[in-house]
Chains A and B, each alone.
Chain A
């Protein structure tokens, strides 16, 4: 497996959806290629960080205000 082939499969590797026989090749490649191992680990970490530190959160007061405005108009039939 080359690095280019590894990167093409990266999403499937991260999502753990590669076929069993490909998985062995992926692991073999990562074992010998430090760069691909870094790309795999840091891409997975990127996802983890974005998932656990969600940006653009709605503060509760704004959320309540927007919610009330939506429901008031729905009750009037929009």
Chain B
């Protein structure tokens, strides 16, 4: 894909990733990074960097929407995230120093474990205390 077609696809795909962000509490980066490398031809590092730039306004919009509905505590969430940003700088520096193919496989294994655990929990348990 290239030119206008690519940009139409990017907007449409962004919509999908945005629903995931608002609904699942994730920025949709796990959807956008593969999309940006496969469909938009970005390198792994470019895709990750660009994904973060999409995640920022999406997370702001999602947080504002939740705040209007009285879900969660935005002040605590922001303070929590400021501490997390120390990890983010370290993680990005590590990514810039490492080959992305290795990291992708490690992450895939981790994501599978967490995903299966959530499915099991959703299927077999009720509300947590």
Do A and B actually bind?
A: no
